[in-house]
Amino acid sequence: MNSNNAQSFSNGFALVGDIGGTNARFALWRGEVLESIQVLACADYPRPEDAVRDYLQRVGQPLSAVENVCLACAGPVGAGDFKFTNNHWVIRRESFRAELGLSHLLLVNDFSTMAWAASRLSEEHLVQVRPGKALEGRAKLIIGPGTGLGVGSLMPLPSGGWEVLPCEGGHVDLPVTSERDFALWQLLREKYGHVSAERVLSGSGLENLYRMSCQLDGVEPACATAAEIGERAMAGDAYADAVLEHFFLWLARVAGNAVLTVGGLGGVYITGGIVPRFLERFQRSGFAEAFRSRGKTSGPYLDPVPVWVMTADHPGLFGAGVALEQALRNEG
């Protein structure tokens, strides 16, 4: 990428996308702002190129106006072509670029874009849920319970930019810190064998936690889905609320462990589809205390670490824009 392409990007716009198993979200990225956001069903298009063409037609932009594209893809992204796990699309890098006439195509892991978003989101899109002081020059941790449990970190660069370090932190062992934790862990182990953090800290994990809590307590389940558990908790159902509280406490433990591992004294950013939906309840939970309530060494280490919840509507798209901007700047 030469400086002319970087300059054209700064003066115009790029196309960014956030593509999952079911939907593809597209937007134009101009001046650090998302424009013309649309959601298209992946099943409606034989190839991702067809979806891009249709999106541009819908928003009144010619294909020739787009030179730079960043797509956040659900799954591990390598240097080669990308095949989606949960839909039929394949992005063949060279043919994709050639067919659409692109100067630059950047593919990034979808959760990595959440980390890129955390590096640039303004205060209006962040809600602080744990006070503290973020240390300059230290890593930031991003964690997000949703369909799965995403974990990543942002490392500051000497140039002033950031490096996103994707990982598989959702598959660490689920921490056990109480007799009830242990009883639930035993039920999870009977069902799954290895008990990862994601077995509890995700949409399906919340359902696991509810069902196995009911099994442990001899309670007839009244909910079948994570949405129902959350709705009943918000409506005043004491049992569903207690399960949701346990979910938040387990999130605190896993997040705290991750901070200790990566040295994330730059702060923690929580995203995903669950916590922002129940933000007020999360703020009243025991998360903040459980996060630092540990041993004589780890407790003081974690005590000053602030925690925010990301409330932006489309952090994946925003992060794709930030990732592309930095990549072009580095190459320009």
Sign of CA dihedral 89, 94, 99, 101: positive
* Token duo for residue 100: 């659409």
DSSP code, position 194 = S
Query: Partners of 108 in the beta sheet?
Result: 72
Maximal C-alpha separation, the chain: 67
21 assigned ligand-binding residue: yes
22 assigned ligand-binding residue: yes
* Token duo for residue 197: 């953090």
Q: What's the CA gap between 23 and 28, in Å, rounded?
A: 17
Give the helix/strand (H/E) hosting 320. helix 315-331
- At 137 the three-state DSSP class reads coil
DSSP 230-260: HHHHHTT-HHHHHHHHHHHHHHHHHHHHHHH
Strand 68-73 and strand 14-19: the pairing is parallel
17 assigned ligand-binding residue: yes
Query: In one letter, which amino acid is 162?
Result: W
- At 125 the three-state DSSP class reads helix
* Token duo for residue 321: 């824009």
How many Cα atoms within 13 Å fall on the side-chain side of residue 195? 17
147 and 201 in contact (C-beta within 8 Å)? no
44 and 55 in contact (C-beta within 8 Å)? no
297 assigned ligand-binding residue: no
- Residue from 19, 20, 17 nearest 28 by CA: 17
| Known binding-site residue numbers for ATP | 17-22
| Known binding-site residue numbers | 17-22
